[in-house]
Structure 1
Amino acid sequence: MTVFTSDGVGGRIAYYRSVVRPKMTQRQLADAACVALGTIRKIERGERGVTDATLEAIAQALGVDPTRPG
């Protein structure tokens, strides 16, 4: 299981959530990705890494390709 801990991952998630998908709250992203709200918050703040499965779920909820370089 790969866990991404790069500072950029959480920042990119926050960017896509707030800029690319305007008005998508952390709660809406958490619900759409079937991920706990606290997990989304910690990932965006860089306090927690993200597994491949979680990253794929978040990317799908945001409508982005998780393999696309930031």
Structure 2
Amino acid sequence: QKMLTQQLRELEADGVLNRIIYNQVPPKVEYELTDYGTSLAPALQMLCSWGEQHIEKTISEGEDVLVISGENE
């Protein structure tokens, strides 16, 4: 929880996210992408495509793609 909050605050400070605070009980906070944050979409799409190709390559070589903690211990 602490790390997520820290990352969200850093993204907000960098202008990637807007934080919306609702004055209610219990407290509610929402985040939205700024126009600047939305400009990251092409780069993220390229990373996603690479990841999909990596998974296909890894599966074709017979390697484990996902290992769930505790499953192989």
Higher RCO, 1 vs 2 (CA within 8 Å, ≥6 residues apart): 1
TM-score by length of 2: 0.25
Name the one with the larger helix percent: 1
TM-score by length of 1: 0.26
Structure index of larger Rg:
2
